Chains A and B, each alone.
Chain A
Amino acid sequence: MMENKEIQSILPHRYPFLLVDRIVELKPGKGGIGIKNLTGNEWFFNGGNSYPPVLLLESLAQLGGVVLGSKAREENPNSRFFGLFAGVSDFQYQRAPILGEQITLKVELSQSLASIYRFAAEVYVEGEKIASGQVLLSFSRTPPLQNR
């Protein structure tokens, strides 16, 4: 269980790109379940009522980032780390979540190769599975973009 404030201490994302509201179940380094509520005055609903499917991928990636980041924090509370979205495989949409729904995001670490982590991801709305696939994150303990 993790509230939004704690999520913000792990992820560097802030408004308007923080797309996970709360973590309801967390197994650091292994997997987790998070939720995202959709309310009418969010910026991506501009006359429409569906959550853009690419942002669903971002929500899943951020949940994966919390899972990996909380593991690093567990080992060393002052550790610095940097995660980037590396890719997506085989992501199938059944339908798009719509305004007024609560999305349940589920990720489970399935493979890790060097600094690339592969998560099996599933998205549910009230028990109905609406999307599933795999999300790849690159995660390192040193910020790689410093030389830029």
Chain B
Amino acid sequence: MIESISISHPPLPLASEGCGEERIRRKAITDAEKTPGAERKQWEELFHRLSHPFPILMIDRVEEVEREKKIKAVKWVTANEFYLTGHFPGEPILPGVLTLEGLVQGALLLVAESFNRGRLRCSLEKVDRVRFKRAIVPGDRVEFMVQLTAKEGELWKFKGQAQVNGETAAEANLILKINFHDVGFEI
């Protein structure tokens, strides 16, 4: 999939505080967190970041981001989601490939956070060692943890893990192809 990500926005507001220099950068944002509606704002922000994920936006909230390192994102699974009507009738299970999509979207957000400004295009190059270990059912809270493991030119390698209550539900190795053009400069 070719995903284009717009990163002209300010850094993603976090649902929890970052660390190190990230914390200074985000202090203003975390202050805003205490005001009502911050969650909604972050969700809208995510929505704009990932080009057209409407029916399959698999991330509700980002809890931790470390540039060029790792990201932790969360999704709540509810029986009301439309694809659960067909997967499967009478026995809702979150489709494994959508768990994988959550990991991919986490990796895309991590890439988007790692650049300052410019035009960024990402495409999924390869998925490897994907294992679905546990069914995810309505009522679960899925945590997507994605870690950057290596960079080889424009290929970035990630290791992702989806957890439910600390139990690994799925894991995957992902390779994204990153195409970045600088636009303008920072003042």
The chain A residues found within 8 Å of chain B, CB to CB, are 12-18, 43-44, 46-48, 50-55, 57-58, 61, 84-93, 96, 133, 145, 148
Instruction: Count A-B pairs with CB separation below 8 Å.
Output: 96
CA distance A47 to B132 in the complex (A): 30
Partner of B124, one of A46, A53, A133: A53
Interface residue? B29 (CB, 8 A): no
CB distance from A90 to the nearest CB of B (A): 5
Contact with A along B121-151 (1 / 0, CB 8 A): 0011111111110010100000000000000
Q: Is the interface of B mostly helix, strand, loop or mixed?
A: mixed
- Chain A neighbourhood of B98, CB < 8 A: 54
Q: Are B56 and A52 in contact (CB under 8 A)?
A: yes
- Chain B neighbourhood of A12, CB < 8 A: 88-89, 91
Q: Are A17 and B87 in contact (CB under 8 A)?
A: yes
Interface residues on B, range: 35 or more
- Chain B neighbourhood of A133, CB < 8 A: 127
CB distance from A44 to the nearest CB of B (A): 6
Q: Are A92 and B126 in contact (CB under 8 A)?
A: yes
- Chain A neighbourhood of B129, CB < 8 A: 87, 89
- Chain B neighbourhood of A87, CB < 8 A: 129-132
CA distance A57 to B86 in the complex (A): 17
CA distance A50 to B53 in the complex (A): 11
- Chain B neighbourhood of A17, CB < 8 A: 83, 86-87, 95
CA distance A40 to B64 in the complex (A): 37
Partner of A86, one of B95, B127, B132: B132
